[in-house]
Amino acid sequence: MILLTFNIANSNAETKNPAGISLVEKLEITEANTKSILKVLDEHDIKASFFIEISIIEKLQQLTKAISAQGHEVAFYNENSTLSKIEAVKRFTEDLLEKQIRGIRQKDEKFPLDELKLLGFNYVSNIDNSDILFPFKRLKRNTEILEENGVSIVPESISPYSQLPYNDFVFQILPMSYYQNMVFETLKSEEFVLIYVNSWQFTEFKKIGLKMPIYRRYNSGKKMEDKLNALLTFINEKELATSRMKDFIF
């Protein structure tokens, strides 16, 4: 099973313009990038899970509703929100969508499972920081879903052959033919492959005037959209099964 997921968050890249970029402009970029992702998914009739950063959900209500209306899962991505903020936004989003928010993704700020369970989350999808060196370390990690205190813990996927993680940077940097083979081979021995990328990777950094390290500009913008299209074409041609996170876990 392929679990295709997207982190919807604003880019923290600095601007070439000393005046910077406003929050409104950042949100517009995030919305445009997310719509590009939705368009590609719709063309291939594939459903995914969208982990929307908690601090921007209330500012992107129409986009959040559009994601849900197209049959995708809406979950949370927490960068630095407090538990009280998460609780408030969870109630707001569930009222907005008239659906339960079951999942949360954490990276730097990680709350205990028992506290997340009290907020009504059924699963946690934690991810690590990825930079130019991290993806190419040889990793040893449990890749099975565990359950603790009634909460499912979904780990990042790692190729058992290359030992590369299926994180955002690996998707961006690897040739698609190699990445496709990696996915195909992994599914022969693993129950699932969890793939995630970030909405800001679909940004045309040079066009907008945002500073970004060269290794992060590589294959960004329209090239990321093309890579996503190539992956989904491969998935459908090989008749590989896909699922939203909440459906696969429960």
From first to last of its 250 residues, what are the pLDDT tens digits of the chain? 999 999 999 887 666 665 567 888 889 999 999 999 999 999 999 999 999 999 999 999 999 999 999 999 999 999 989 999 999 999 999 999 999 999 999 987 789 999 999 999 999 999 876 555 555 554 555 678 999 888 999 999 999 888 888 999 999 999 999 999 999 999 999 999 999 999 999 988 888 777 777 777 788 889 999 999 999 999 999 999 999 999 999 8
Candidates 3.40.50.10860, 1.10.10.410, 3.40.50.720, 3.20.20.370; correct CATH number of 2-249?
A: 3.20.20.370
pLDDT at residue 17, rounded to an integer? 62
Measured between alpha carbons, how far is 203 from 222 in angstroms, rounded to an integer? 8
> Domains of the chain: which residue ranges?
2-249
Cβ atoms 220, 202 nearer than 8 A: yes
- What integer pLDDT is reported at residue 212 of this predicted model? 73
Q: Is residue 202 a contact partner of residue 225, using CB atoms and an 8 Å limit? A: yes
The span from the CA of 57 to the CA of 117, in Å, is: 21
Q: Check residue 15 and give its pLDDT.
A: 62
Q: For residue 118, give every residue at least 6 positions away whose Cβ sits within 8 Å of its Cβ, in sequence order, or none.
A: none
The gap from C-alpha 146 to its chain's centroid, in whole angstroms, comes to 20
Predicted local confidence at residue 110, as pLDDT = 86
What's the confidence (pLDDT) of residue 13?
Answer: 65
- Which tokens belong to 34? 């997310």
Which pLDDT tens digit goes with each residue over 169-201?
999 999 999 999 999 999 999 999 999 999 999
Dihedral of alpha carbons 15, 53, 149, 244, sign = negative
Q: What is the 3-state secondary structure (H, E, C) of the chain?
A: CEEEEEEECCCCCCECCCCCCCHHHHHHHHHHHHHHHHHHHHHHCCCCEEEEEHHHHHHCHHHHHHHHHCCCEEEEEECCCCHHHHHHHHHHHHHHHCCCCCEEEECCCCCCHHHHHHCCCCEEEECCCCCCCHHHCCCCCCCCCEEECCEEECCCCECCCCCCECCHHHHHHCCHHHHHHHHHHHCCCCCCEEEEEEHHHHCCHHHHCECCCHHHHCCCCHHHHHHHHHHHHHHHHCCCCECCHHHHHC
Closest C-alpha among 63, 84, 83, 70 to residue 10: 63
Q: What is the pLDDT of residue 208?
A: 77
